[in-house]
Amino acid sequence: MKCKKCGANDAEVYLAYSNLKLCPECFMLLAERKVRNTIETYKMLSKNDNIGIAVSGGKDSATLAYILSRSFEKIPMTLIYIDLGIPDYSQHCLEKVKELSKIIDRDLIVYSLEKELGFRIPDFKSTIYGRKMCSACGTVKRYLFNKITYDLGLTKIATGHNLDDTVEAIFNSYMEGNVGALVRLKPVLPKTHPKMMPKIKPLICLTDMECLLYATYRNLPIRMLECQFAKRSRTIRRKEVLNLLADKIPSFKHTFISSHYRRILPLLEKALGGQSVGDEMGIFDCPVCGMPTSLRSMPCHFCKIVSLLKRKA
Ligand code: Q46
Ligand code: ZN
C-alpha cells in the first residue's frame, strides 16, 4: 500500500480518525503542519517571544521541543528540566534531555529539587501524599515551571500536553462537574497575575500515538524507563476507557475536543461573564513565597505540601 499523500513511498502509519495511510516522511510533515496551524490559530507565539519549554525526557516534550525549534528558528527557546530526584528515572531522563538540547542546539536549564530545595519527590511517600505521589509531583512541577520561567525573564512556557491528555482532562472535569477546571483547560492560558506566566500547549492537535511515532521516526532521545509511581494512576485508567471509545468511533477524541472548544467553552465563558470560576475570588500573593495563589491569606498549594515535608524532618 502506497502513501496517500506522496503516492511514492510505502505507507507505514494509519490515522484511523481521518482514514489516511501515510509514509513516515509525509506523516512527519503532517504532524509539523498541524502544530504550526495550532500555534497560528490560537496565536500562541509572537516574534518578541523568548520561551521556556518544559521537558521531561518523554516523547511529548521531545516532539514539542523539536518541532518548535525547527519551525521557529528565530524565536529564542530554553529547555527547562526539573530533576525530581526519583532514583534511576530522573538521571535517565536528564541524559535524554541533555541529548535533545544538543540535537536542537538550544540551552537547557536543569533545576534539581534536592540541590535547590533539599527534598526529592520520593520524600512525599511518608506524608498524606504517599498514595497520590503524582498529585504532589504535579503541584511541584506546575509551580516550579512557572517560577523558573518568571525568574529567567522568559515570556511564556510551552508544555507537551497532547490531544489525549487534554481529552482526558476535559472528560474528568465533566465527570466531576468541575466547571472551573473545564474553563481553564484551554490551549493558551494568558497572564492573570504579574507572576503567573502565560502557558501554551502546541501539541493539543497530536495524539499520544502520533507523538510517539514522530519522536521515533525522528530518532529523538526519549526515556525508556517508567517512573516507579506511574502505575495504574486514575489518569491512565481514564485514558484506557477513552481509547476503547476511539476504537469504536475513530474520530471520537477529535470531535470531543473540537465540540468542547468551539461550542461548549464559549457558552460557559459567556455564562460566567468572561470570568473563570474562582476569578471572582481573585488571585493573591502567597504569604510564604510571594507567588500567585487562589487562596486568600494562606500559603499556596506548593508551600503547603512542602511544609508537610519540613514537619516530618
Ligand atoms: S514523574 Fe511525577 Fe510523573 Fe512520576 S510521580 Fe507521577 S507525575 S509518574 S509524569
Ligand atoms: Zn507559596
Q: What is the pLDDT of residue 131?
A: 85
Model confidence at 296, in pLDDT bands (50, 70, 90)? confident
From the list 188, 189, 211, the residue with the least C-alpha distance to 65 is 211
Q: What is the pLDDT of residue 297?
A: 77
Q: What is the pLDDT of residue 281?
A: 54
Q: What is the pLDDT of residue 313?
A: 63
Q: Number of structural domains, the chain?
A: 1
Q: Is the pLDDT of residue 195 over 80?
A: yes
> Is residue 19 assigned to a domain?
no
Which residue's C-alpha comes closest to atom 1 of ligand 1?
227
> Is residue 144 assigned to a domain?
yes
Residue that wins the pLDDT comparison between 192 and 119? 119
Q: Is the pLDDT of residue 311 over 60?
A: yes
Query: Average pLDDT, stretch 138-144?
Result: 96
β-bridge mates for residue 77, sequence order: 51
Report how far apart, in Å, the C-alpha atoms of 20 and of each of 1, 13, 16, 17, 30 are: 11, 8, 7, 8, 11
The pick from 133, 159, 232, 239 for probing ligand 1's pocket by mutation, whose C-beta has the most ligand atoms within 8 angstroms, reads 133
Residue 87 CA to ligand 2 centre (angstroms): 27
Q: What is the pLDDT of residue 276?
A: 53
Q: Is the CB of 230 under 6 A from ligand 1?
A: yes
Query: Average pLDDT, stretch 127-154?
Result: 94
Q: What is the pLDDT of residue 288?
A: 95
Q: What is the pLDDT of residue 252?
A: 97
From the list 175, 291, 281, 192, the residue with the least C-alpha distance to 235 is 175
Domain residues for 252? 46-281
Which residue's C-alpha comes closest to atom 5 of ligand 1?
134
- Residue 310 makes CB contacts below 8 A (sequence gap 6+) with none
Q: What is the pLDDT of residue 278?
A: 46
Q: Is the pLDDT of residue 239 over 90?
A: yes
Ramachandran area for residue 260 (φ above 0: left; ψ -120 to 50: alpha; else beta): alpha
| pTM of the predicted structure, to 2 decimals | 0.94
Q: Quick one: what percent of the chain has pLDDT higher than 70?
A: 96
Cell numbers placing 31? 504532524
Residue 275 CA to ligand 1 centre (angstroms): 31
The atom number, within ligand 1, closest to the CA of 138 reads 7
> Is residue 171 assigned to a domain?
yes
Mean pLDDT, rounded, of the chain = 93
Tell me, what CATH number does 106's domain have? 3.40.50.620
Tell me the per-residue pLDDT of 15-74, one tens digit each, with 9 for 90 and over: 999 999 999 999 999 999 999 999 999 999 999 999 999 999 999 999 999 999 999 999
Q: What is the pLDDT of residue 207?
A: 97
> Is residue 275 assigned to a domain?
yes
Query: Average pLDDT, stretch 206-230?
Result: 96
Query: Average pLDDT, stretch 189-218?
Result: 96
> Is residue 29 assigned to a domain?
no
Q: Is the pLDDT of residue 104 over 50?
A: yes
> Is residue 20 assigned to a domain?
no
Handedness of CA 79, 82, 86, 91 (dihedral sign): positive
Residue 84 CA to ligand 2 centre (angstroms): 19
> Is residue 238 assigned to a domain?
yes
> Is residue 247 assigned to a domain?
yes
